[in-house]
Structure 1
Amino acid sequence: MTAAPSVPGVITAEQVVQTARSIAAVQDATGGIPWPEGHVDAWNHIECLMALTVAGLHDEARRGYDWLVRHQRPDGSWPMKLVGGEAAETGGESNHAAYVAVGVWHDLLVTGDMEFARSMWPVVTKALDFVVDLQTTRGEIVWERDTAGEPAPYALLTGSSSIHQGLRCGVLLAERLGDPQPDWELAADRLAHVLTAHPEAFADKSRFSMDWYYPILGGAVRGPQAVQRLDLEWDTFVVPGLGARCVSDQPWVTGAESCELVMTLDALGDDERALTVFADMQHLRHEDGSYWTGWQFVNGKHFPHERSGYTAAAVILAADALSRTTPGSGVFRDAGSQQVRITGECGCERAHA
């Protein structure tokens, strides 16, 4: 078994395992990994499973994937929020569904367990077919389908960026399992184009740092355009010595966003800034290995007053990305490695060029 990742001078392998055990400690009897307030959503749940896998807690991760199998609906989605195994919010989010492909592909990279990947393949295919069915003519993917079956009237930039990674991982998984899915690849290409060239396609959530870095982290935007994008808002969202803000208009840094920014920088080869941000956010570490969700640096208080599994998961995934420890450490870095083929269907000048 591969050793847990470590980042010299910042976090040891033993501390990473301790952090993973803090995630396992909140896993419920059914395998779900809830938010501090008690609900489970598929996206954050999968992120936690990926972190458990990196740290070698494979039994706990498998229990979490069993939870996904049990709670997937016939249309391929999961309820937006589940409490005690029951749907508390019933709409199905497209980015939640897409993320299962990232999780299963990551698991295969780390463990090499083809039997498990094959067992999860029907779950992945239903989920990504649900996602692709929500793609518009222009190429963006709307954020949800409600319980009446109606698609949302708009798309979200962060969500679509994460979906782009899900589709790319789904294509790679399909090829590895010998069941190619060209429709997913076409959907990913169309989505990448919209993410790169059509900001007007998405609801304005620009106060959130995720909308700043996620088009890069999800693999749609790379190269000089990505560097330019990060530099443009760096001083807006990054607080030296503390990490990254969640939103631009509040004095509030958050651990998950900080670590996602670390992985974004790593994907661009910006090792120095990646390591700096990762070291800066360690003030959120609790003595038991868990991580506070955030820090309000004007009031000098943790806000909200909670330690979240998804924050701990982001720390572990960032440590793995920086250290290149497991075979899955490049799952974000490699999300932008595929060549995008644009057919011109959206009709814009850039597409025809």
Structure 2
Amino acid sequence: MTRTDGGGRGGRTERLVLPGVLTAEQAWATVTGIAGAQRPDGAIPWFSGHHLDPWDHTEAAMALDAAGEHERARAAYTWLARHQNPDGSWYAAYHDGDPERPTDHGSETNFCAYLAVGVWHHFLATGDEVFLDRMWPHVAAAMEFVLGHQQPGGQIGWRREPGGQATADALLTGSASIHQALRCALAIAEHRGSPQPDWELATGALGHAVLRHPERFLDKRHYSMDWYYPVLTGTLRGPAALDRIEEGWARFVVPGLGVRCVVPNPWVTGGESAELALALWAVGESDRAVRILADIQHLRAEDGMYWTGYVFEDRAFWPAERTTWTAAALLLAVAALGGDEATTEVFGAERLPDGLDPDCC
């Protein structure tokens, strides 16, 4: 891994320093940990020997971009471009990132859509027009695959099974993530002068469903992701976003430890905690965001990576794994708090296209 500033740190790890959370040396160790799991072909599994899924692979690539490791991030996106299925999808899981060894031949719509978020983030970080042009057909194909699963109410069915059967059931978390991805895809399309009116309509209908029609989604209210994801993805903003955060705070946040993944389980997780911090930053609650990030430093291991979760009743890390995506979520939250332009643009969402409001109730 190339050291670009002569100081034992990556070229932009100054944006990843946050008092009480990360020093420059700690940030570099975390970046190095993610990079150490990346295969020579660009794949980033959860950890070496485990599986890769396209969403978490993309999140890890975004963290590498936030750290200035643009070549590594570009290699991650090249892996996706090289192994996209003819219909625009990817499989849900690949053993250790080996494209010849998928372990789940189904396809999850939010996994496939997230490429657009990563590609736009990489372009904002690098200004690489050649990269954007090269990735555009892959983004477009992924969006068409995803929108093929949109239901009449605007929500997106969450999965296609290995046999080809599409699942009509929609997940609020997944659909909110897709909404962010569609807005990033529209930003790419606008930048390239390639208008996509069908995507604009689909984006508006999906946002409307997320904000106004919880009954169109499977009931997963006991998962913290369903609580904060509409805020994290920029679908919900303003006073309503703050109200949503307040409504779920006591249920999900364990003071001093982090955020429960599932209520009532006594289990806090680093990924959900870092994502909540990013959502808090996005709605102007930076002090609380820093507090959450500081709280989860008990998950930090000596190698700079983060344990996935902690069962506080047993005082035990569980599962016994340190995942690239947990580290990536933390780095992206720190990058936003530090003012990294690409990260603030994507998660602040103020300048992302909104799509068109549907004429429905």
Larger deviation, residues 317-326 vs 24-33:
24-33
- Report the Cα offset of residue 70 of structure 1: 1.8
> How many residue pairs align between the two structures?
346
Instruction: Tell me what 1:133 maps to.
Output: 148
TM-score, reference length from structure 1:
0.94
- Report the Cα offset of residue 340 of structure 1: 5.8
Instruction: Tell me what 1:301 maps to.
Output: 316
Q: Work out whether residues 217 and 263 of structure 1, in 8 Å CA contact, stay in contact via their aligned partners in 2.
A: yes
1:45 partnered with 2:54:
no
5+ long unaligned stretches in structure 2: 5-10
Q: Work out whether residues 218 and 335 of structure 1, in 8 Å CA contact, stay in contact via their aligned partners in 2.
A: no
1:25 to 36, 51, 54: 36
CA displacement, residues 240-270 of structure 1 (integer Å, 9 cap, x when unaligned):
1111111111111111000000011111111
Tell me how far apart the structure 1 counterparts of residues 351 and 164 of structure 2 sit (CA, whole Å). Answer: 32
Instruction: Tell me what 2:176 maps to.
Output: 161
CA displacement, residues 196-221 of structure 1 (integer Å, 9 cap, x when unaligned):
11001001111110000001111211
- Report the Cα offset of residue 92 of structure 1: 1.2
2:211 to 181, 196, 199: 196
Tell me how far apart the structure 2 counterparts of residues 308 and 238 of structure 1 sit (CA, whole Å). Answer: 21
Tell me how far apart the structure 1 counterparts of residues 351 and 180 of structure 2 sit (CA, whole Å). Answer: 8
- Report the Cα offset of residue 69 of structure 1: 1.2
- Report the Cα offset of residue 326 of structure 1: 3.8
Question: In the superposition, relative to structure 1, how do residues 335 and 100 fare at CA in structure 2: closer, same or farther (>3 Å)?
Answer: farther
- Report the Cα offset of residue 147 of structure 1: 3.5
1:65 to 42, 55, 77: 77
**What SS does structure 1 have at the residue aligned with 2:170?**
coil
Tell me how far apart the structure 2 counterparts of residues 336 and 219 of structure 1 sit (CA, whole Å). Answer: 10
Larger deviation, residues 258-267 vs 78-87:
78-87
- Report the Cα offset of residue 336 of structure 1: 8.1
Instruction: Tell me what 2:282 maps to.
Output: 267
Larger deviation, residues 309-318 vs 284-293:
284-293
Larger deviation, residues 30-39 vs 162-171:
30-39
Q: Work out whether residues 168 and 335 of structure 1, in 8 Å CA contact, stay in contact via their aligned partners in 2.
A: no
**What SS does structure 1 have at the residue aligned with 2:104?**
strand
- Report the Cα offset of residue 95 of structure 1: 0.2
1:319 to 334, 340, 344: 334
Q: Work out whether residues 223 and 262 of structure 2, in 8 Å CA contact, stay in contact via their aligned partners in 1.
A: yes
Q: Work out whether residues 3 and 325 of structure 1, in 8 Å CA contact, stay in contact via their aligned partners in 2.
A: no
Instruction: Tell me what 2:21 maps to.
Output: 10
1:223 partnered with 2:235:
no
Instruction: Tell me what 2:7 maps to.
Output: none
Aligned partner letter, 2:334: A
Tell me how far apart the structure 1 counterparts of residues 148 and 117 of structure 2 sit (CA, whole Å). Answer: 19
2:89 to 43, 53, 77: 77
Tell me how far apart the structure 1 counterparts of residues 24 and 126 of structure 2 sit (CA, whole Å). Answer: 18
**What SS does structure 1 have at the residue aligned with 2:103?**
strand
Aligned partner letter, 1:323: G
TM-score, reference length from structure 2:
0.92
2:115 to 83, 97, 100: 100
Report sequence identity in percent: 48
Larger deviation, residues 179-188 vs 88-97:
179-188
Question: In the superposition, relative to structure 1, how do residues 219 and 60 fare at CA in structure 2: closer, same or farther (>3 Å)?
Answer: same
1:248 partnered with 2:263:
yes
Tell me how far apart the structure 2 counterparts of residues 159 and 212 of structure 1 sit (CA, whole Å). Answer: 12
Superposition RMSD in Å? 1.6
CA displacement, residues 221-245 of structure 1 (integer Å, 9 cap, x when unaligned):
1112111111111011001111111
Question: In the superposition, relative to structure 1, how do residues 286 and 326 fare at CA in structure 2: closer, same or farther (>3 Å)?
Answer: farther
Tell me how far apart the structure 2 counterparts of residues 198 and 298 of structure 1 sit (CA, whole Å). Answer: 36
CA displacement, residues 322-352 of structure 1 (integer Å, 9 cap, x when unaligned):
111343333111168655642324xx3xxxx
Q: Work out whether residues 244 and 254 of structure 1, in 8 Å CA contact, stay in contact via their aligned partners in 2.
A: yes
Q: Work out whether residues 95 and 163 of structure 1, in 8 Å CA contact, stay in contact via their aligned partners in 2.
A: yes
Instruction: Tell me what 1:152 maps to.
Output: 167
Aligned partner letter, 2:120: W
- Report the Cα offset of residue 182 of structure 1: 1.9
Tell me how far apart the structure 1 counterparts of residues 353 and 242 of structure 2 sit (CA, whole Å). Answer: 18
2:199 to 184, 200, 209: 184
Larger deviation, residues 172-181 vs 145-154:
145-154
Instruction: Tell me what 1:351 maps to.
Output: none
Tell me how far apart the structure 2 counterparts of residues 246 and 135 of structure 1 sit (CA, whole Å). Answer: 27
Tell me how far apart the structure 1 counterparts of residues 246 and 106 of structure 2 sit (CA, whole Å). Answer: 36
Question: In the superposition, relative to structure 1, how do residues 74 and 125 fare at CA in structure 2: closer, same or farther (>3 Å)?
Answer: same
Q: Work out whether residues 300 and 306 of structure 2, in 8 Å CA contact, stay in contact via their aligned partners in 1.
A: yes
